[in-house]
Structure 1
Amino acid sequence: MRAPAADPHPDEAAAPSAEAVRAARAEPSRAPRRGTADPVKTLLHRHRELVERAVDPLEIAAGLEVHGVTDRTAARFRHRDVFSLAEELYARVPRGDEPPRAAATTPAEPVAAWAGLVLAPGAVALVAGGGLVLAQGPVRLAVGVAGAVGLGVALAAAVRRGPLRATPGPAGRTGALWTLWLLAYALGGDGLLQALATGGPDALWPLAPATLLVLALAVAPAAWCARLFGVRARRRLAASRGLDDFAYGVRPLLLAAVGLQLLALTALTWAAGAPYGTVALGTLLLLARLLAVHGRARAAAAGLAAAGAAEVLALAGVLAARLPGLDPLAAPVRAALNAWGPGAVPALVCGAAALGLLGHAAVALCRASAHADATP
């Protein structure tokens, strides 16, 4: 048996061919192409923490929206919208034997848990108002103090349960302080401003308890309007197939909720004979609370602060005008007083702040991220 002949050129046999060299050089450039063939994998790596802690695809969609992912961005990942992209991200993360769940809405808190609480401020205000009418002398003062304390406790309880509950934080506390100032001005600010404009005050200026009565009675319709908006928006979110579609459907819900509260405030203001600025203040408070409930407490506090600061400046301008050469500081306030009376200042400043918050809410509250974690 003849042995195989030795290769006369062993080095050439071991050397790679030109085609192999070109293939080896091309291999690194093909690797990224294989990676980018699955663009969702890159997105998953970038937002893995969000996807892993999400309880359903809806939470992922809301988180992606916060990071600037839109329906147009989702198209680059070969999905028709953010919701479809979120469903794939949710399905890609291993979760044991648990099957991927569809987007689910958070169950609303039972109405019985908060219905009585939102009626309490109006009931306390009615009892205190009746006591002020019947009482005289020192007893009247004691009734007024007790009514103010009771009203404060009832309001605090009403906003800690149900649709008006918001996550506490620094912005929320700032908003609460400005709300107290706005309520204090609603009680006695108009009378003080009129007294300052006429050279006073020489005695205790007149108060307007009817404004607080209207606002206290309006807590109940405000809670139901907030619930209507929250529940319908969550349902719309679960049924939507795109962020634009969701915003288009939620914006009318927001306007309807604000419109219903506006009608309630107008009717209560007319029935109680309260100043017309009460309607503007009540609308501002509702919008600020809606924003705070849905995680936009800073915007709510900014709107309340703007209205409160304007009222402070109105009082300070009239008072500073008594100094020589500073009379022009009070000119805008005096013009408003002469044209529409002392109620013009809260009506104008609260109305302007309410319009600003409504414009912000029409954008912020029509995003999926504003409703993913809110419990109506």
Structure 2
Amino acid sequence: MILLVIFLCGSFLISPSLGSEDLVSQCQSNYLDLLRKHSSLQEKNLEKYAQIIQCQRVHSEVQNKYTEVLQKLNDCNVKYDKLQPKPLEVDTLRAFITQQKEEIELLKYQIGELKEKCELGKLTSQFREDIAKLAEIVKNGEPPRSEVANNDNQENIQAAENTNSNNKTETVEVKTEEIPTTQEDNSRNQTKVIPQPSDRCPESQDYRDILQEIQIPGTSPFKVNCFADEDIGSGWMVVYNKVSFSFAFSRPYEDYERGFGEVSTKADDEFFIGLERLHLLTSEKPYEASLYYDEGLTKCDHFVVGNRSEGYVLRNIGWYTGGSTMGLSQGTKFSTFDRDEDGHADNLAMKKGYGWWFDQNYTRTKNLILLIRRTD
């Protein structure tokens, strides 16, 4: 309206010569024209305002969709993280697979040993019977009583049949003749002495590693790797052989108790003779121990392992030389991932992937080779 008044005043001032009627008519015409333009501008503004409202609505919808998509993306990320296997689970799965393979190999070995023992048992029984018969022949100078009795019975039966056939009653005397024995026969009938398995590794050997059968009184024989070295001498028994970055020793407590692996003379063949055998060996006879690990070699002049009820604790390790971190500490119990007895806040057996006597000063090792030797 201000613009309208200014325009009318201007028109009045500019055209003073015009008549009043003409002036009023012209002002009205201008006013109507301005009204039309103002109305047109208002319509355009309303259209623009409507467009702005529409844009705001679209923007709000897009913002809502963006938020929804972002939420879905976050949900997908969470699900993806859940689906991703954890490193520890992967390591545990690998260790389990390796463990199953080792158990299969161990079962195959045990089946083979059982077959050999069954065949050997049959042969041994037959051999013992033959020895008993030969011993009786050598002692009495005649066949075994059972055979003589059988021969007597056959002769008596034959004599009785002859008597019945002839309708005569005769007393048939059966005489047994002595079987002469010569010096040659006696030499043949001598019992062959079978050497029994030893209870220790030899004090000297021609090779660095040899396989020997060991027997603890009251138990079955088992194979061990007997080791000799210029630095530590001969007579050593390899009881724990673990190589770097291996999952073969990630096993439960029961496996460590009975032992596992294929005992051989190869450096990369992993095995453990068993906690129970270590207890029986070291509790009956005096032993010393040597430990090969990443940092070098350490020796202790005593090595005594307790029984199962004691957690196969290291009863005595004596004095050790050759390093400040033996990796063994007196009074330490044996720990595995399913039986944590190391006294640490962490389960070191699970963390490191093998069972051991973890002490308070234990340091990380990749290779572990434990040897023991009789000292009497």
TM-score, scaled relative to structure 2? 0.29
More helix by share: 1
TM-score, scaled relative to structure 1? 0.29
User: Larger C-alpha radius of gyration, 1 or 2?
Assistant: 2
More strand by share: 2
